[in-house]
Amino acid sequence: MYKVYYIMHSSFLVELDDRYLLFDYFDKSVMAETVQFHGCLPELDPDKYLYVFASHSHKDHWWLENLRLADSRDNIKFILSKDIRLGRNYLIRNGFDLSIKDKIQFVTSMKKYQVDDMTIETLRSTDAGVAFVISVKGMNIYHAGDLNWWNAEGRGELYGEVYGREYKRALKSILNKHFDIGFVPLDSRMGEDGYFLGLDYFIKNIDCDNIFPMHMWGDYKWIERFKSRPDIANLRERVVDIDRENMIFEIED
């Protein structure tokens, strides 16, 4: 059994028997004028290794203060998209010892990395940074970051078509891969005709046991709306129901 903690927005914590994988944790206060997020990290076992992932530098996906998690533990590594700029002077100016760089693995799109016993592959985002494909302890985990079929309402049909082609191209390399967990955007800002496109393509083309919708800006009613679509009736049970922050899901292997 493993646990998945839904913290907020696109931030999740996966707990395995010997480690944590933390994705896209950010400072909720910087989004206060847009959404009042209340998610927070649970108490972490200090003996379990902590791997901190950040898909890109947007303020709803990355927080510089995440690096301070290393102040209380040595068993930690950061896997960060290279668009997150952490230059020498910037770190010093913000009170970090430069030794923190020894704990950081920067990643770029369309590459494969070995971090301890984890294989990490990156996909090219249709927005910024990367999506993560992680193989660890016999499991495969997908976190999209901002890789999505963006189709903002009012932007026109061509806009959606361009993003659709890029999205399908980005996922091409994982079409034949099985995933235990997938974290995939379901963004209501795209409107009735666009909110479902990325998740719809993913669920119909990627073999994934447990799909966690994310990037919902606190508006969870869109999950049930998506699951009620007739054309995914035989797939809807794969989509995990989320209705609030700080939810914990226990999943059998």
Q: CA distances (Å), 241 to each of 41, 74, 76, 183, 226, in order? A: 20, 35, 30, 12, 11
- 152's tokens: 């903002």
The predicted pLDDT at position 212 comes to 98
Within 8 A by CB and 6+ apart from 173, the residues are: 121, 123
From the CB of residue 143, how many other CB atoms can be counted at a distance below 10 Å? 24
With 90 as the cut, is the pLDDT of residue 251 above it? yes
What are the strands of the beta sheet with 2-8, ordered from one edge? 104-107, 76-81, 49-54, 19-23, 11-15, 2-8, 247-251
Please name the residue that has the structure tokens 């999506």.
Answer: 131
Does residue 218 contact residue 10 with C-beta atoms inside 8 Å? Answer: no
pLDDT for 154 = 58
197 vs 185: CA distance, rounded Å: 10
Calculate Rg over the CA atoms of the chain. Answer: 18
Q: What domains sit in the chain, N to C, each tagged with a CATH number?
A: 2-251 (3.60.15.10)
Q: Which residues pair with 208 in a beta bridge?
A: 179
- CA–CA separation, 148 and 157 (whole Å): 16
Crossing angle (nearest 10°) for helices 157-171 and 197-205: 30
The pTM for the full model equals 0.96
Distance CA 198, CA 126 (A): 11
List, for residues 82-129, the tens digit of each pLDDT value. 999 999 999 999 999 999 999 999 999 999 999 999 999 999 999 999
pLDDT tens-digit map of 231-245? 999 999 999 999 999
Give the rounded distance of the alpha carbon of 216 from its chain centre: 12
